[in-house]
Amino acid sequence: MPQRNADTSRTGTQAVPQTRDVIIVGSGPAGLTAAVYAARANLEPLVIEGIQAGGPTGGQLTLTTDVENYPGFVDGIIGPELIRQMRAQAERFGAQYLTEDVDEVDLTVRPFRLIAGGREHFAHSVIIATGARPRRLEVPGERRLWGAGVSACATCDGFFFRDRHVVVVGGGDSAMEEATFLTKFASRVTVVHRRDELRASKIMQERAFKNDRIEFVWNATVEEILGSDGMVSGVVLQDTKTGERSELACDGVFLAIGHIPNTHLFEGQLDVEPNGYLVVKEPGTATNVPGVFACGDAMDPIYRQAVTAAGTGCRAAMDAERFLAALE
Ligand code: NAP
C-alpha cells in the first residue's frame, strides 16, 4: 500500500506527524463555533471544512439567503456572509482550515487518525460537525433529471426559472422559504404537500399564503418526475386520500422534504440512531468514544437551527477542552 502523506511539522531536520489537540470535521455554524471556542482556549484547532464546488462548504447556510432569526442581526444577514464572519472570527484566534473532505476515520486508535485529501491527520480529540444533506424523493425521473430541473436549492438554481412554473415539494419552513424565494423568478409556484396542514412556522406559512404567485396542492405526493432531453416537463401526483393519479405540467421541481445527517463515515465506530443521527450523552456532546464529540445537525434531529447548531458547537469545544485537560 502506498505511504500516505501526513499533516507534518518540522522538529530539527525531521518531519514528524503533528498530533493536534482538536480536529473539527465540518464548517457550518456548529463546526465554526466549536473552532472559535477551541481557538480561544489555545487548542489551535484544525478545521477540515469539506469541499463544495471547489471551495469550503460552510454547510447548509451557504445555500440559504436571508437568515432572519440569528440573534444579533436586526435586519437579518445573508447565510454565506454569516459563515464568512464565523470563519474569520475563528481564524483570528488561531484556527486553521483544510479545504478537503474527510474520506476515512479511525477512532479505535490513539491519537485518532483521519484521512483527508490523501493525507493522514492525528488528533487527541475530534469534534464532528458534519451536518446534514437534503432528503430525496427516490421516485422515477428524479435521478435522471437532477440538476436538469430537479433541485434541492432554490438559492442556487432559482435563477434559471424566470417566468416559469415550478413545483416545491414539502410543507416545512424550508418549503415555504424556497417557495417564497422562487417567486422572485418564477411566474407560478405550486407547493405540493402530502397532508392538508403545513408543518412550517406560522410566520412562514402566512408569508407564503399571502403571496399570490404561490398555490397549494394538498394531500398529494409526487410519484414521478417527467421530462426528457435534460428538461423537466411535469410531475405525476397521487392523491393520498383517493389514490387518484394526475399530471401537473411544470418546468422545475424543488425538493424541501427534510434532511439526512452526514454520518455514514462514522457508522460502525460511533453509536448512531436508526435515522442516522449520532448519539450523544445529553446534555453534553460526548459520543460513545471518549474524546470524540458531536454537534450540530449531525446529532440534532429536532431543532436544526443555525443558532442551536452554534450552541452545540460551543458545548462540544468546551467538552473537548475538559477532556484534554483531564488527559494531562
Ligand atoms: P421539516 O421541518 O422536517 O419538513 C419536511 C417537510 O417535508 C414536512 O412537511 C414533511 O411532511 C415533508 N416530507 C418529508 N418526507 C417527505 C416525502 N418523502 N414526501 C413528501 N413530503 C415529505 O424540514 P425543513 O423544512 O427542512 O426544516 C428543518 C428545520 O429547519 C426545521 O426546524 C425548520 O424550522 C428549520 N428551518 C428554519 C428556517 C427559517 O426559520 N428561516 C428555514 C428553513 C428551515 P410532513 O409535514 O407530513 O411530515
Q: Which residue has 470535521 as its cell numbers?
A: 25
What confidence tens digit (pLDDT) does each residue in 228-249 have?
A: 988 999 999 999 999 999 999 9
Q: Is 137 in the pocket of ligand 1 (CB under 6 A)?
A: yes
Which of 66, 156, 196, 271 is flagged as catalytic? Answer: 156
Q: Which atom of ligand 1 is nearest to the CA of 135?
A: 15
pLDDT bin (cut points 50, 70, 90) of residue 6 is low
What confidence tens digit (pLDDT) does each residue in 103-132 have?
A: 999 999 999 999 999 999 999 999 999 999
Indicate if 153 belongs to the active site: yes
Q: Is 69 in the pocket of ligand 1 (CB under 6 A)?
A: yes
Distance from residue 127's CA to the centre of ligand 1 (Å): 26
Of 135, 150, 174, 253, the one to substitute when testing ligand 1's pocket (max ligand atoms within 8 A of C-beta) is 174
Q: How far apart are CA 35 and CA 27, in angstroms?
A: 9
Q: How far apart are CA 27 and CA 246, in angstroms?
A: 42
Q: Is 199 in the pocket of ligand 1 (CB under 6 A)?
A: yes
What pLDDT, on a 0 to 100 scale, did the predictor assign at position 12? 45
Q: Is 43 in the pocket of ligand 1 (CB under 6 A)?
A: no
Indicate if 314 belongs to the active site: no
Q: Is 304 in the pocket of ligand 1 (CB under 6 A)?
A: yes
**Residue 226, C-alpha cell as written in the block:** 417527467
Taking CA atoms, 304 is separated from 9, 131, 132, 261, in Å, by: 37, 9, 9, 11
Query: 278 near 128, Cβ under 8 Å?
Result: yes
Helix, strand, or coil here: 223? strand
pLDDT greater at residue 115 or residue 7: 115
What's the average model confidence in pLDDT over 138-159?
A: 91
Q: How far apart are CA 192 and CA 194, in angstroms?
A: 7
Which of 7, 21, 157, 251 is flagged as catalytic? Answer: 157
Among protein residues, the one with the nearest Cα to ligand 1's atom 21 is 170
Distance from residue 141's CA to the centre of ligand 1 (Å): 22
Distance from residue 255's CA to the centre of ligand 1 (Å): 10
What confidence tens digit (pLDDT) does each residue in 153-168 have?
A: 898 789 999 999 999 9
Q: How far apart are CA 179 and CA 324, in angstroms?
A: 46
pLDDT greater at residue 153 or residue 87: 87
Among protein residues, the one with the nearest Cα to ligand 1's atom 23 is 258
Distance from residue 164's CA to the centre of ligand 1 (Å): 24
Among protein residues, the one with the nearest Cα to ligand 1's atom 43 is 174
Q: Is 300 in the pocket of ligand 1 (CB under 6 A)?
A: no
Q: How far apart are CA 117 and CA 163, in angstroms?
A: 42
pLDDT bin (cut points 50, 70, 90) of residue 321 is very high
Q: Which atom of ligand 1 is nearest to the CA of 175?
A: 25
What pLDDT, on a 0 to 100 scale, did the predictor assign at position 2? 41
Query: 328 near 89, Cβ under 8 Å?
Result: no
133 strand-pairing partners: 260
Burial (CB count <10 Å: 0-12, 13-18, 19+), residue 108: exposed
E strands within 149-203? 150-151, 165-169, 188-192
Distance from residue 173's CA to the centre of ligand 1 (Å): 6
Among protein residues, the one with the nearest Cα to ligand 1's atom 18 is 137
Q: Is 145 in the pocket of ligand 1 (CB under 6 A)?
A: no
pLDDT greater at residue 15 or residue 25: 25
Q: Is 238 in the pocket of ligand 1 (CB under 6 A)?
A: no
